[in-house]
A and B are shown apart, each in its own frame.
Chain A
Amino acid sequence: MTAQGVKSSYWTGVRDGAPFLLVIVPFAMLFGVLATEAGLNPAEALAFSVVVIAGAAQFTALQLLQDHAPILVVLASSLAVNLRMAMYSASLTPHLGHLPLWQRGVAAYFLVDQTYALAVIKYEKEPQLSRAEKFAYFVGTLTPICPFWYVFTVVGALVGATIPPEWGLDFAMPIAFIAMIGPALRTGAHMTAALVASVAALTFAFLPYNLGLLISAGLGMAAGAEVERRVGAA
């Protein structure tokens, strides 16, 4: 482990994370815009983004708050959307679990879809990286992502409702997530997992409180794991 390796891992992370600015900026602005429309002021929108720092859960909570759903339903649904974070946490544990507690705390707070996706792919490809290099890479990936999530939430809140709906900003998140799926479909097991999860998500979409998402993710993971167990392909 060298200081140079740590530094270069950090900058590799920054470089890998930078393209996600194109997603984070419109997505954060969209949250700011929708928060304003829901009656939140820019400070409240910013608090949402800083404290929760999870796009899909923020949108879910905002929607349900507007619908005047009971607080417990708002929390249960939004946390269900974020259950995947626990899976992210578990899957990064073999790589980051032996870091000092404060670094694990930092990694946990900044564990979002984009930083997770970049980190897990990097760690699988280059398992020889030292723990310091792995942490530096993670901090690198969040540098061009998380601060901009905060800043552009405020920009969106200030811009307010002036963005025309024809821009299709609503579809920025699906496009971003889909773009992340393709490269992850490395084996038949991965494809089976994705296919089973997709079919299940459409089948169970009628279930309330995002239960469909949880069930589908569980089924997809089980399908992938089963294919791997039979074929032996990791």
Chain B
Amino acid sequence: MIDRGDLWIVIVALGLGSFALRFVFLGLVGDRPMPAWLMRHLRYTAVAVLPALVIPLVVWPSATDGETDPVRLAAATVTLAASYFLRNVIVAMLLGGLVLAGGGYWLG
């Protein structure tokens, strides 16, 4: 059982901290120009953070206690291929979901 005091400390502190992270540049830097090297790095934020966040979840899914699962691997591969070639986020997600559902049905 989670301690109620701990829970609320985490909710409030995490909320404040998350807002601070989101506000730090937007709110405090404002419209001062940003250095070129910083912008050059920031252009690659999304394509670096999202794969780094997602690939361990794909290779070692928490739902299988970290054991690599061919269905989830296939679903991830199909989603990536579809989103790259079709450039359509929603179609890619649907195809990935179909592989996940279909694979789970046939193999599960």
Task: Compute how far the CA of A40 lies from the CA of B39 in the bound complex, rounded to whole angstroms.
Answer: 41
Kindly provide the distance from the CB of B12 to the nearest chain A CB, expressed in whole angstroms.
7
Q: Are B41 and A89 in contact (CB under 8 A)?
A: no
Task: Compute how far the CA of A71 lies from the CA of B80 in the bound complex, rounded to whole angstroms.
Answer: 36
If A65-B2, A91-B43, A165-B63 touch, does A179 touch B83 (CB 8 Å cutoff)? yes
Residue in B closest to A195 when the chains form the complex, CB atoms:
B51
Instruction: Point out the residue from B23, B61, B72, B75 that lies within 8 Å of A104, measured CB to CB.
Output: B23
Residue in B closest to A60 when the chains form the complex, CB atoms:
B14
Looking at chain A's contact residues, is the secondary structure mostly helix, strand, loop, or mixed? helix
Q: Are B93 and A97 in contact (CB under 8 A)?
A: no
Instruction: Point out the residue from B22, B51, B96 that lies within 8 Å of A85, measured CB to CB.
Output: B22
- A7 is an interface residue with CB less than 8 A from chain B: no
Q: Are B47 and A185 in contact (CB under 8 A)?
A: yes
Residue of B40, B44, B82 ringed by the most chain A CB atoms within 10 A: B44
- Number of B interface residues in the complex (CB < 8 A): 78
How does the 8 Å CB contact mask read for A98-115 relative to B, with 1 for contact and 0 for none? 100100110111010100
Instruction: Point out the residue from A56, A71, A107 that lies within 8 Å of B26, measured CB to CB.
Output: A107
Kindly provide the distance from the CB of B70 to the nearest chain A CB, expressed in whole angstroms.
13
How does the 8 Å CB contact mask read for B17-37 relative to A, with 1 for contact and 0 for none? 111011111110111111001
Q: Are B79 and A178 in contact (CB under 8 A)?
A: yes
- Number of A interface residues in the complex (CB < 8 A): 98
On chain A, the residues within 8 Å of B90 by CB distance are: 19, 22, 179
Task: Compute how far the CA of A98 lies from the CA of B79 in the bound complex, rounded to whole angstroms.
Answer: 37
Q: Which of A178-230 contact B (CB under 8 A)?
A: 178-185, 189-191, 193-198, 200-202, 205, 212-213, 216-225, 228-229
- Please name 20 pairs of A and B residues whose Cβ atoms are closer than 8 Å in the assembled complex, sorted by A: A19-B93, A52-B15, A52-B18, A53-B15, A53-B18, A57-B14, A65-B2, A75-B13, A90-B24, A116-B46, A170-B61, A175-B79, A178-B83, A182-B81, A183-B88, A184-B50, A190-B47, A194-B51, A229-B40, A234-B43
Residues of B within 8 A of A (CB): 1-2, 6-7, 9-15, 17-19, 21-27, 29-34, 37-63, 72, 75-76, 79-90, 92-94, 96-97, 100-101, 104, 108
